[in-house]
Structure 1
Amino acid sequence: MPVKAVVFDYGKVISFAPDHGVMDEIAAMAGVKREILEPVVWKMRGEYDRGTCSGPQYYGKVLQSLGVNADETTLNKINEIDMHSWKRINPGTLKLMEDLKKAGYKIAILSNMPYDFLSWAREAIPVFSLPHVGIFSCEVKAIKPEEAIYRKLLSELGCKSGETVFFDDILVNVEKAKELKINAFLWQNPEIAKIQLAGLGVTV
C-alpha cells in the first residue's frame, strides 16, 4: 500500500529537547530538588496535555503534591520558561517536512500539547502553518497512546493506516500506532527517518 501521509510528533522530533538547564531553573524557582521535581512533572503532565487545566494550574498542582505552595507570579514564570523551552526547531526535520510536502505527500503533526503552548506556537512558530493536518491532544481531549487520538488523525488525513507513516520519540506511542497498523518509527534523527521512509518507497 503506497504511503500518502507522513506524520510527526512535535516535542523532540520537530523541536529539539529543552536545554538541560531548564528543569534546573524551574526546580530552583520552586525551591525543590530537580531529582524530586522532574518525575512528578512528567507523571502529572497527561491531564495538562489533555487540556483540562492551564499551565500555572498544572504547575500549582505539581508543587502542591510536593508540599510547596507557590504564588501566582512564580507559577506564571515557571510556565513561561517551560513553554519557551520547546520552541527550538530542528532544521533537519523542518526540511524533511517541507521536502515531503513539495513531493505531494500529506504532512501532519500529532502531538500531546497543552492549550498554553499551542495557542502561542501557532502565532510564533512558522512550522505550525506547514502541515495539512494538526491533531493536538488539548483540542481532541485525548492523549497518546490512547487509540482515539490516532483514529482522529486517520480520519482527518483521509488515509488508511497502511498509507500513513508516523514518527515519535516515545516508544509506547510508536507501539500503539503499530498496533493500529500505522507504519510507525521511533524517532532518531532526520537522516535515519529518510532511510526509513525510503524503505517504504518514499524518497525526497
Structure 2
Amino acid sequence: MQPEDQKKPVIEAVLFDYGLVLTGPPDPAAWAEMQHLLALDEATFSHAYWKHRSDYDRGTLNGRGYWSAIGQDVGHVLAAPQIDGLIAADTVLWTQLNQPMVDWALRLQAAGTRTGILSNLGDEMMHGVLAALPWMAGFDHLTFSHHLLLIKPEAAIYQHAASGLCVPAERILFVDDREENIAGAIAAGMQAIRYETQPAFEQALAAMGATELWTTGNLNV
C-alpha cells in the first residue's frame, strides 16, 4: 500500500531488460551441455564464453562467428552441427522464465501500458528466444543490440528504445539487473529500477509511488 497523499510518478511505458529480469538464472544443464560439446573444463569454458560476448551482442560477430571464435581460442575447429548444438544450448541457457516479471509484463499489456524490451542480444540468440517464447510478440517494441551495432549502456540505444515505444524518455520506467545499465537509462532521462530480487523490486515500486502499476498494470486506474 502507498500513502494516500503520495504523488504517483508518470509512467506510460515499462522497458524491460531480457536476461535476469524476464528470465531467471541460467540453466545449469544447458551450460554443462555447451561445456561438454567443447570438451572444456569449467574455468576454460567460462573464460571463452564471455571473452567475445560483447562483440556478439554488438553484432560485430554473428552467432556462428562467435562460436567459431571460441573454437579457435581453445584449439578446436567446430563443424556446423557442433555450432548448431551450441547455439541451441545457449538459447536454452537464457530462456528459463522469471514468471512473476513475465506475468507483470502481460498484466501491463492487458491494462494498456506500453511495454518494450531493450536487451544486449546477438542474432542467433534473438532468433532462438523469439521462437521459444511466442508471448514476446505482445511487446510494443523490441530493441536488440546487434541490430544497431550498439550495446547498453551506450546512450543511443536508450534513445532508440524510447523512440520505438513512442513515449518520452522521462515517462518510461526501465528495469535491468546491471547497475551500469540503470545509470545509462537515468542519463538518457528515464526512470529506472535495478532488478535484484522480486521482493526488493516490488518494494522499490512502492517507494516511488507505483504500487498500482504492479497490482493493476496501469497507474491511471
Equivalent AA in structure 1 for residue 20 of structure 2: K
- Determine which of 152, 156, 165 is the counterpart of 1:157: 165
1:110 counterpart residue number: 118
Work out which of the residue numbers 27, 39, 46 in structure 2 matches 1:38.
46
Partner of 2:72: 64
**Is the 1:8–1:14 contact (alpha carbons within 8 Å) kept by the matching residues of 2?**
yes
Q: Shift of residue 76 of structure 1?
A: 1.9
Corresponding residue of 2:4: none
Unaligned 5+ runs, structure 1? none
Query: 1:163–1:189: structure 2 CA closer, same or farther, 3 Å change rule?
Result: same
Contact 1:50–1:142 at 8 Å: present in 2 too? yes
Aligned to 1:20: 28
Question: Letter of the aligned partner of 2:117 in structure 1?
Answer: I
Q: Flag the 1:109–1:58 CA change in 2: closer, same or farther, 3 A.
A: same
For the residue of structure 1 that corresponds to 2:143, the secondary structure is strand
Which deviates the most, 193-202 or 26-35?
193-202
TM-superposed CA distance for 1:51, in Å, is 2.6
Tell whether 2:208 aligns with 1:200.
yes
The structure with the larger Rg is 2
Distance in 1, matches of 2:34 and 2:41, equals 10
More off after superposition, 97-106 vs 6-15: 97-106
One-letter amino acid matched to 1:189: T
Percent of matched pairs sharing the same residue: 26
1:177 to 161, 166, 185: 185
Following superposition, the deviation at residue 25 of structure 1 comes to 2.6
1:2-21 correspondence to structure 2 within 5 Å: 2-21=10-29
Name the TM-score, length of structure 1 as normaliser.
Answer: 0.89
Distance 1:101 1:192, change over 3 A: farther
- Displacement of 1:73 in angstroms is 2.2
Structure 1 counterpart of 2:149, from 141, 155, 159:
141
Q: Determine the C-alpha separation between the residues in 2 that align with 1:42 and 1:147.
A: 23
8 Å Cα contact 1:94-1:127 kept in structure 2: no
Q: Supply the RMSD in Å over aligned alpha carbons.
A: 2.0
SS in 2 for 1:201: coil
Deviations 1:11-68 (CA, angstroms, capped at 9, x unpaired): 1111122222433332222122221221332231112122333323211102212333
Change in CA separation of 1:156 and 1:127 when aligned onto 2, cut-off 3 Å: same
Q: How does 1:93-108 map to 2 (within 5 A)?
A: 93-108=101-116
Tell whether the 8 Å contact from 2:27 to 2:96 is kept in structure 1 after alignment: no
Separation in structure 2 between the aligned mates of residue 127 and residue 49 of structure 1, nearest angstrom: 22
